[in-house]
Structure formats: C-alpha cells, structure tokens
Amino acid sequence: AVCSAAGVQGNFQMAPSGSGGALVVWEDERNGNKDIYLQSVLSVGLLVYQVDGVAITTALNDQVTPQIVNDGQGTNAVVVWGTDTSGDGKNDLLAQQINIATGTRGWPESGVVICNASNLQQLPKISAGLSGDVYIGWEDQRADLDTYLQRLSSTGTVAFTNNGSNICSLTLNAVQDQAALSAGTGV
C-alpha cells in the first residue's frame, strides 16, 4: 500500500521518479481536512519515504487537486495544488519543489504562490520545461473562464507577470455557445 493512514485518501496523481519508479501525490484527510502527501515507489514496489508518505503541505483549510512532474533534471519534482487560503471557497495555487531522493522540500514550507488573484483558480496542470523549470497552467475565473500560465524556475521564482499570464480568454457566452455547438444543439 502506498498509504493506509486513517481518513480518506484520493485524487492520486503520478509522475516518473527518473529511476524506473514512480512518484505518487494525493489528497489526504488523515488530519481532518485535505492535505497533500507524497510517496516514492521503486520499480520493485518498495516505498522510499516513511510509511504513509511525507507531507507536502498540512496548511489550514483544504489543499486539493495536486499535480506532480519530475523536473527532468533527475533530482527534483514539483507539486502544484489548489488551496482555500482565506477560507472563502476560492482556491489559490501553490507549488513546492521536492528532492526525489529524500522527499524533503526545496522551497519555503508554505510553498511558492503561483496565483492568489481574486476569484477561483482551479484544475492546475504542470509540465517540465528546460533546466529544471516548470510550466503551470490553470482555469481561472477572474473575469470569465480563462486559461492562465506561469513559468516557475528551479529556484522557485515566477517568470511571468504576478498571478500568471492570460493565454486564452473567452466570454462565458462563447463557452456556452461552443458547448452547444459540440452537442449539436446549435446556438
């Protein structure tokens, strides 16, 4: 078992560890709210980190929808997740670098803020870039339903404008119109 701790574990995501094994990240309710935990599994099925995984974040409120990527340099992985920092139901996005060999954090314990703009940021996706940097995209409801992108360096520095760059803007009506067209119902 990757994790058999008390509470509910769910929303598992995986990435290659770079040594034939896998990194597994998930939402974990063992402490009462949803936190993010990580485990490294060798290709022979043995666990690398402590039993039931290491905590990526156990901050207040729920931490949700974790995504993970090996940064391509063989040493680190980066995890991104949504968090209801202010308790208002509107997620911000945070990220943390993890040393693959030890499971230790590489950036501040609270993580690096990817986006804390007003309204809801959700459904983050992450991809490795070059030289240990990563790209994080997400659905953002600052205006309507837009797509934003942020590049994060291996040192945890954001490269694009604060709170990301808008790479696709659609009005809500355009999204509804596209859904209707896709369903064949017309607009």
Interatomic CA distance for residues 32 and 160, integer angstroms: 35
What mean pLDDT is reported for the chain? 89
Q: Give the up-direction half-sphere exposure of residue 41: CA atoms within 13 A in the CB hemisphere.
A: 16
> Strand, helix or coil at 183?
helix
Token pair in block for residue 100:
């693959």
Note the pLDDT of residue 141. 87
Note the pLDDT of residue 182. 57
Interatomic CA distance for residues 139 and 129, integer angstroms: 20
Q: Looking at this protein, which amino acid is placed at residue 146?
A: D
Q: Looking at this protein, which amino acid is placed at residue 104?
A: T
The whole model's pTM is what? 0.87
pLDDT band of residue 162 (cuts 50, 70, 90) is confident
> 107 near 114, Cβ under 8 Å?
no
Note the pLDDT of residue 186. 43
Q: Which residues pair with 67 in a beta bridge?
A: 80
Token pair in block for residue 81:
């997740």
- pLDDT tens for each residue of 51-110: 999 999 999 889 999 999 999 888 999 999 999 877 777 789 999 999 999 999 999 999
H or E element that contains 148: strand 146-152
Place of tokens 């936190």: 35
Interatomic CA distance for residues 127 and 133, integer angstroms: 9
> Strand, helix or coil at 132?
coil
Break the chain down into helix, strand, coil percent, rounded to 5: 5, 45, 50
Rg (CA), the chain: 17
pLDDT band of residue 187 (cuts 50, 70, 90) is very low
Q: Is the pLDDT of residue 32 over 80?
A: yes
List the Cα angle 143/88/166 in 5-degree steps: 25
Token pair in block for residue 140:
């953002």
